[in-house]
Amino acid sequence: MLQRQAMLRGWSPNTTVSYRRDLLDAQAFMADRKGSLFDADKDDVMRYLASLSRRGMKESTIRRRRSALSTWFGFLQEEGFREDHPARNLPAQRPTRALPKLLSETEVEALLQAPDVAIPIGLRDRCMLEILYATGLRVSELVGLQLACVDMAAGLVRVIGKGNKERLVPFGEEAGIWLQRWLTQRSSLVSRPSSHLFPGRGGKVMTRQNFWQRIKLCARQAGLRQLPSPHTLRHAFATHLLNHGADLRAVQMLLGHANISTTEIYTHVSRARLHDVVNKAHPLGR
């Protein structure tokens, strides 16, 4: 079922894996109560969702699990296995939009300078961090970049984002310099042919988790107070652009957001920064 839905809806592999994990968790919950996902009713679904809150799950995770259940019961209904849809018309879950963790421009500079560029793996890490901050790519998009997707002459990368949507994202001169350095020394780290721009050791495909470990290492070396999340440089990219006067629609296109409301959270971050400036600098700010 999931493979079929993934193909029809253009899900990314990560979304498909997450939905599968969500449905297995729901099935385990139902099995503990001598039931199953095939015959669960609306009360069963409500009890399961309530259990997620008691387990302290984030609201975004609970929303995704509601979506996974809706997809599952929709499939059963379409295939004629059941007439009702117990995950439809559930009480609305009020979303809360947490502001993303943000690094200052000084902290970003410290993070970028942390890798030891005298060794190939350090040069690769520096280039990856530079590209992340210069383009606002998702980490999954970065590790999946192919050599053929880079146009050095035009200063562009071709990205396949969520829903298999393609977008062209420009990168600046500084990122281009580090990218050129990496391309000239890439063969010293890659011992076998690889089509990926940033492969791991031995030419293997780097995972998001692998790169997340590299980011944490760089953050510690940079002496950052808090470890950044995998999306920290994406958040910094968007917020710093808006702080310097970039158009919100342009930032939406660069980030690959389908809906501009997703991008608007960065305007709240910018406002929060302005409030912080006033509170610190104004004589009556405090």
Residue with tokens 């010293």: 188
Strand partners, 196: 146
Neighbouring CB atoms inside 10 A of 254's CB total: 21
Which amino acid makes up residue 24? L
Contacts of 202 (CB under 8 A, 6+ apart): 190, 191, 192
Nearest to 30 by CA among 63, 61, 72, 78: 72
Beta bridge partners of residue 157, listed in sequence order: 150, 169
Q: What is the Cα–Cα distance from 98 to 61, expressed in whole angstroms?
A: 13
User: Which residues are catalytic, by number?
Assistant: 138, 162, 231, 234, 257, 266
Tell me the residue length of the chain: 286
